[in-house]
Structure 1
Amino acid sequence: MKVSTMRSIDRWVGIPICFMVSPFRWLADRIRGARKTPPDTSRTLFIELSEMGSAVIVDPAMRKLHLEGKAEIYFAIFNKNYKSLEILKTVKEENVFKMNAGNFVSLVMDVFRFMSWCRKKKISTVIDLELFSRFTGLLSFFSGARSRIGFTNFHDEGLYRGHIVNRAVRYNPHVHIGINFISLVNKALDKFDNPYATIPVHPHELQLERAIVSSEAITNINAKLQQLFPAWQGEKIILLNANASDMLPQRRWPQENFAMVATNLLEQHKNIIIIATGAPAEKEYVEEVVRKVNHPKCINSSGFFSFDELVPLYTVSTCMLTNDSGPAHFASVTALKVFVLFGPETPHLYLPLGGNAEPFYLGLPCSPCVSAANHRKTTCITRPCITGIQPLSVLERMHDFIEGNK
């Protein structure tokens, strides 16, 4: 389904269903005494359906719950986004529910399959990571879990999704999403009583694990690089990720800007090659960038590397320039230097973890224009927040980094 269709369903169908379900939730919780005892975290399900990057950002929170709450971790995610969970392998494959969102009928059928799966797995607690999604709120209720933890607007106006969550945490739009995720886990660990996350989140709690990359994977990726560019003689690899997901296309830096940076880098550095990455569906979009560069050392690799080969590719590369999208977070589990272009969203909330990401962000008065309050929807067409980032400033920073890593 299209993103716009899913948003419409979540609003026009989700709101009335949440309203009707809320009294039953209250009654069921009263009968079960859901609030009388701390959450049983022994079999905890995390729900994050639509954001591949968030599946990486939440990893420290999941590890914290596993360590402190002795929890077996489960996860529900859209089938097309599952690969993001495989990067760090924190969740066992048999503990992942992959939901099919291809069309409305398949989605409804999978809801019933989800209900059965949760009861088979004996899910005791659900942590809903989505920002005010009515659909995931309902999923948490349909899971049958006694404790349902998620974000609430509390005294804020709007963002209604009933009273499905029975252990609410007020979402804080002024701190990094990773901190918000840790706060949900602290709630599951019964560390604070009211909706306000009053327990500090320390920097070490946001420490992201590094992916384990085998020597065989490195050997394989080097062979594929040689196949992609037979003239490669071990030059440094600079990655460009010019596309961004259809969920928020306003995040895309103009193709000509990527091309300008690539062209100048190739002129300044003779010992590099530039690989433009992307999914198979992005091949034409990426090819337009490569055509503008018009240099034999700038290669379109869209669809050439599998998802499983991305982390090894990041491991052998020098740096990457990317829009604010999934690859920036996938690379955060490696030592790769990542330059991230932010526009309608802000690095203050969504900068990749790991310590190697450096943002380019203008911070215009209108930024960020997408948030939980508008379900990340914007009608801005001119996009000065992203188009206004000058290629020269990006080029200079990348040039300095490459020079410093000779």
Structure 2
Amino acid sequence: MNVDFMHALDRWAGIPLTCLLTAARRIRCLFGKQAPVPPRRLLFIKLSGIGASILADPAMNKAREKLAAELFFVIFRKNRASLDLLGTIRPSHVFTIREGNLFALALDTVRFLFWSRRHKIDTVIDLELFSRFTSLLSGLCGAKNRVGFSRFRSEGLYRGELLTHRVAYNPYIHIAKNFVAQVNSLLASEDELPYSKQVVTDAEVKLPLMSYHETELVNMHEMVRRHYPRYERGRHRLVLINPCNGKALPQRRWPPERFIRLMQRILAADPEVLVLITGAPAEHDETAFIRSEVGSDRCLNFAGSLQLAQLPVLFTIAALMVACDSGANHFSAITNLPTFILYGPETPRLYGSLGNSTPIFAGLACSPCVSAANHRRTVCRDNKCLQAISVDQVFAAIRPILQSGWEERQVR
């Protein structure tokens, strides 16, 4: 199902269904309220956003450490691989929902309701911002404690009144801190309105850095060598370029001709640099065209060459990455790779990488133009916010890293 249809379904079916479920719960409360229970089997719900599970990892780790809870997760099947990168949730504790068609979505929803009761879920944290579908999942999964973002006095975005812990969504702090605030609501010593009245520090949203066995690193170097037979580990430096970001929000794309000029400048600056163009399998033809326009055998088309689980290994052996705002910048956050991310319709203040990342953002008055309030839909068809970022600006940002590699070789 396409995004517009899913939004329409969430609105026109979700609003009356959440309203009916709210009325049913209020009638039930007339006969006595359910007492809260200690969170012991905690379910996180985050269906959309391929990088969102990375941003939610600090919250999940805090829930496990502070609440001593057994963690579960429900996610769209197409995003499942991103959840496995850090291994915070046991594979057997993950439920996936297919969103390809309405029948599969309905069937998996029913299956989920049985699954959640079989696992005796007592607490649910809905990480989605203002989805009615996940509000229904939270309300029907059998959990006694239901945590989520509430609109309070905001107009629109109605998703029922099914929460026991109503958390204020704060659009002025990073989304990872908003997720931690949801966990904090379960740690509060008294009822709060709204939750959560605690500071979330930068230290609380640090990600663990992954390390890989030498065998995995050797295999990745060999994969690069298959694309470029003259590749030598320790001699060549790898610069990753991720020019595409899927079709969901084309306004996030930097013009391809600028990526081409940037890659040409990188290759001209250092004869020992290889540029690897990364991307999904569906983007292979587009990246092949970009590679051909660069016009160098040191520019390699790596799109579709790796499984998602292999990406962090590539990030570990690379020197730097330049990318549009996409899932890649969140996946790289579990390594030390320096990344330079181009932002426009969205702001790095809210959705920036938690890793070793430098945001490049023009800061136009109209930017950002997508948010939770408009379900990340914008009327913009001319992304001046990204066109305002020049090749010179990006090259100047990455030049110190390129230059440091050249100077190291001169010393040797």
TM range (shorter): over 0.9
Distance 1:139 1:227, change over 3 A: same
Answering whether residue 205 of structure 2 is matched by residue 203 of structure 1, we say no
Q: Which residue of 2 aligns with 1:4?
A: 4
Q: Distance in 2 between matches of 1:227 and 1:40?
A: 54
Q: Which residue of 2 aligns with 1:54?
A: 52
Identity among equivalent pairs (%): 38
Q: Which residue of 1 aligns with 2:362?
A: 362
Contact 1:29-1:146 at 8 Å conserved across structures: no
- What is the root-mean-square deviation in Å for CA atoms of aligned residues? 1.4
Q: Which residue of 2 aligns with 1:231?
A: 230
Q: CA deviation at 1:60?
A: 0.8
Distance 1:126 1:28, change over 3 A: farther
Q: CA deviation at 1:40?
A: 2.6
Q: How many residues align?
A: 403
Q: Which residue of 2 aligns with 1:94?
A: 92
Q: Distance in 1 between matches of 2:59 and 2:201?
A: 12
Q: Distance in 2 between matches of 1:345 and 1:404?
A: 31
Q: CA deviation at 1:31?
A: 5.2
Q: Distance in 1 between matches of 2:254 and 2:31?
A: 53
Q: Which residue of 1 aligns with 2:376?
A: 376
Q: CA deviation at 1:32?
A: 6.7
| TM-score, scaled to structure 1 | 0.96
Q: Which residue of 2 aligns with 1:219?
A: 218
Q: CA deviation at 1:245?
A: 2.8
Q: CA deviation at 1:196?
A: 4.1
Identify unmatched segments of 5+ residues in structure 1: none
| 1:203-254 residue CA offsets vs partner (Å, 9 max, x unmatched) | 2111111123222211211111111221212310000111113222211111
Q: Which residue of 2 aligns with 1:255?
A: 256
Q: Distance in 1 between matches of 2:404 and 2:159?
A: 51
Q: Which residue of 2 aligns with 1:182?
A: 180
Matching residue's letter, 1:215: E
Q: Which residue of 2 aligns with 1:105?
A: 103
Question: Secondary structure of the equivalent of 1:33?
Answer: coil
Q: CA deviation at 1:8?
A: 1.2
Q: Which residue of 2 aligns with 1:289?
A: 290
Question: Secondary structure of the equivalent of 1:221?
Answer: helix
| 1:179-217 residue CA offsets vs partner (Å, 9 max, x unmatched) | 100100001223562114210112211111112322221
Q: Distance in 1 between matches of 2:192 and 2:403?
A: 52
Q: CA deviation at 1:33?
A: 3.1
Matching residue's letter, 1:2: N
Q: Distance in 2 between matches of 1:377 and 1:348?
A: 19
Q: Distance in 2 between matches of 1:270 and 1:46?
A: 48
Deviates more, 1:185-194 or 1:83-92: 185-194
Contact 2:63-2:183 at 8 Å conserved across structures: yes
| 1:41-100 residue CA offsets vs partner (Å, 9 max, x unmatched) | 210000000112110011011000100000111000011101111111000000000111
Identify unmatched segments of 5+ residues in structure 2: none
Matching residue's letter, 2:222: A
Q: Which residue of 2 aligns with 1:136?
A: 134
Counterparts of residues 2-41 of structure 1 (less than 5 Å): 2-28=2-28, 33-34=33-34, 36-37=35-36, 39-41=37-39
Contact 1:340-1:357 at 8 Å conserved across structures: yes
Contact 2:276-2:301 at 8 Å conserved across structures: yes
Distance 1:75 1:32, change over 3 A: farther
Counterparts of residues 254-333 of structure 1 (less than 5 Å): 254-333=255-334
Q: Distance in 2 between matches of 1:84 and 1:284?
A: 24
Q: Distance in 2 between matches of 1:29 and 1:306?
A: 49
| TM-score, scaled to structure 2 | 0.95
Q: Distance in 2 between matches of 1:359 and 1:167?
A: 34
Q: Distance in 1 between matches of 2:65 and 2:397?
A: 39
Distance 1:30 1:65, change over 3 A: farther
Q: Distance in 1 between matches of 2:294 and 2:30?
A: 65
Matching residue's letter, 2:345: P
